[in-house]
Structure 1
Amino acid sequence: MIAAEQAAGPTAPPSSQRTGTIWLKSMLREPLVHFLLLALVIFAGYRLIGADIQNKPGSIVVTAPKIEQMAILFTKTWQRPPTSEELKGLIDDYVKEEVLVREALALGLDRDDTVVRRRLRQKMEFVDAAADVLTPTDADLQAYLQINAATFEIDPMLAFQQVYLNPQRHGDSTARDAASILEALQANPAADPNLLGDPTLLPSDLPLSSKTAIGQTFGVEFPEKLDKALLDQWTGPIASSFGLHLVRVSRRMPGRVPALDEVRDAVAREWTNAKRRALEDGRFAELLKHYMVSIEFPVSAEAGR
């Protein structure tokens, strides 16, 4: 019996098993199945990697230069170096700040915050400014001085004597009293102005002063009237913000554009500021090319435009 079975060869698998094998082979040849299997592999890998990243703590490194900077700042503030305990407190506070800042950024708390946006803008502008090494030549400064001569022009200057008349003290006779004193001064130019007129905190004899400074004290129209007066002759009265004055202009210096050596520092400062603004505007224009700006005006603003 056994010999007969061996002669008949191996037993054939059941028909249901053969059908399953054929179906599996057919499915494995389908492209959609290949895609799904690949997606499952990627998803499983992503879960493993993502879990590793999520569980891995962020790295905060407090470097030796940073600790040294903390100690220097503490020393400048308190006029002594920090103790070991105080230094540990500074480091702990830095770590706390770093953690909270990172968490705040992760939560998006920096968005739509005017103060944060302003500080970020200032830091960007500071970074741009720090990148600029601006060293003007004498030719640069001279050209800037010529183009902006009015900015650096030395103000005209005047020196004069004055006799003050207080309208509240003289009342309706102010003009008549002024004419009388003026007549006496013209008759005797050597007369002491301090013995005439009314008491005042204003000096009777003003040395060379700029027209701007005189205008700030006596009123803007006062130096313009002085500018028209004859030299070394008593004239007036001229009204100021205080009252009436009899004046004698003793010296007059016209305004002028100074030589570069006289105002080099001021010209260099203004040249640097102007050049930096130009560079900032240029860099911003390049950055702006990467953005499309749309401005949606409110309905009320549109109606008024």
Structure 2
Amino acid sequence: MLKEPLFHFLILGLLIYGGYAWLHRGDAPDEEQTIRVGPGELGWLRTSFETRWQRGPTPAELQGLVDEYVRETVLYREALTMGLDQNDIIVRRRLAQKLEFLIEDLAEVSTPTDEELEAYFEAHRASYREPDRITFSHVFLDPDRRGEAALEDASEIRATLEAQADPTQGVSDFGDPFMLQSYYPERTEAEIAKLFGRDFGARIAELGEGRWHGPVLSGYGVHLVYVHEIQSFPQPTFGDFREQVKDDWTAAKRQELNDEYVTRLLEKYEVVIEEPA
């Protein structure tokens, strides 16, 4: 059989075909190596551009968007091929977030009744109230300079200030240098807490007007505090915040539906927590 001309011809043909296929193995990309930019992708690119710039893209700008889309797709596919999406906390969170957004988009939230909105408002009334604004001055005593004497010195300085005709006269002349201000107009408790700490902010909110208080402690050290004025605002009414309450109710309802969906998903899984030996 090895001497048959037909057999030799078949072997030669197979070798030629195999060599050609090997040399041109990249000429016919499969679907995974094809990046299609169709009407859907082009429409999305145009819409994204119009949303940002309030006009349609020029042909050159559209080509730039397509080039960037193709570049991003190439990098994305290569990253997947290399397994860069595995055990990546950022990718993990992003995918979970995208599913949450999808759940929220698909969730059908009914139109709330006025009774439902009023009940929600009453349950969250405090969040719609304008917080009190406090105007105060303070004298700072640095424990790094004064040590244990800081509290005793504070009591003596307070007595001196209270004995003045104007108890806030020359406030900056008392105490030790302070990196921030000595006078703060119309600050909320939250704003004060950001500057001096949560405990200091809560204490200031409880002090009465028109006299010196202290010593009051903060993360910086010891303070004497004079409250000039506490500006309070009227209680909020449902009518003043109806639209905001509706938006908040809708957001809360969507979150509730989201949580219910995740709870149903969890029923498909067995959670095993393995403590280290």
Q: TM-score range by the shorter chain?
A: 0.5 to 0.7
Q: How does 1:189-208 map to 2 (within 5 A)?
A: 189-190=165-166, 191-208=169-186
Contact 1:74/1:81 (<8 A) preserved? no
Given the alignment of the two structures, is residue 129 of structure 1 paired with residue 104 of structure 2, yes or no? Answer: yes
Q: In 2, distance between residues paired with 1:85 and 1:260?
A: 49
What TM-score results when the alignment is normalised by the length of structure 1?
0.54
Residue 59 of structure 2 aligns with an amino acid whose one-letter code is P
Alignment of 1:29-178 (within 5 A): 64=39, 66-71=41-46, 73=48, 80-83=57-60, 86=63, 125-131=100-106, 132=108, 135-136=111-112, 138-178=114-154
Structure 1 residues not aligned, in runs of 5+: 1-56
Q: TM-score normalized by structure 2?
A: 0.58
Residues of 1 paired with 2:267 and 2:179: CA distance?
64
Distance 1:264 1:230 in 2: 34
Letter in 2 for 1:248: Y
Task: Show CA shifts across 1:240-265 (max 9, x none).
Answer: 22122222222235687533455556
Q: For the Cα contact (< 8 Å) 2:213–2:225, is it kept in 1?
A: yes
Where in structure 2 are the equivalents of 1:207-246 lying within 5 Å? 207-246=185-224
SS in 2 for 1:241: coil
Map Cα deviations across residues 227-249 of structure 1 (whole Å, 9 max, x no partner): 45442112322222212222222
Amino acid at match of 2:58: P
Give the CA deviation at 1:165: 1.9
The partner residue of 1:268 within 246, 260, 266 is 246
> How far apart, in 2, do the equivalents of 1:113 and 1:228 lie?
50
Task: Provide Cα deviations, 1:172-194, integer angstroms capped at 9, x if missing partner.
Answer: 54344333322221111412212
Q: CA deviation at 1:128?
A: 4.2
CA distance in structure 1 between the aligned counterparts of 2:251 and 2:268, rounded to whole angstroms: 28
Q: Deviations along 1:132-176, whole A, 9 cap, x unmatched?
A: 366545544322111233544544443222122222333454344
Distance 2:147 2:236 in 1: 46
CA contact (8 A) 2:141 2:221 kept: yes
CA–CA distance in 2 between the matches of 1:175 and 1:278?
Answer: 51
Identity of aligned residues (%): 28
Alignment check: 8 A CA contact 2:109 2:250 kept: no
RMSD: 4.9
- Could you list the runs of 5+ residues in structure 2 that have no partner in the other structure? 1-30
Give yes or no for the alignment of 1:183 onto 2:154. Answer: no
Q: Do the aligned partners of residues 253 and 71 (structure 1) sit closer, same or farther apart at CA in structure 2, a change above 3 Å counting?
A: closer
Letter in 2 for 1:81: T
User: In structure 1, what residue type is equivalent to 2:209?
Assistant: L
Alpha-carbon distance in structure 2 between the residues aligned to 1:69 and 1:153: 42
Deviation by residue 1:184-240 (Cα, 9 ceiling, x = unmatched): 211114122123222223322222322232233223332444345442112322222
Larger radius of gyration: 1
Contact 1:237–1:246 at 8 Å: present in 2 too?
A: yes
- Alignment match of 1:278 (pick from 244, 256, 262): 256
Cα 1:64–1:243 shift into 2, 3 Å: closer
Against the structure 1 CA distance between its residues 70 and 223, is the aligned structure 2 distance closer, same or farther, given a 3 Å change threshold? closer
Name the one with the larger helix percent: 1
The one-character-per-residue Cα deviations of 1:52-98 (angstroms, maximum 9, x if unpaired) are xxxxx9xx997645434445557869x952349948x76x959x98x
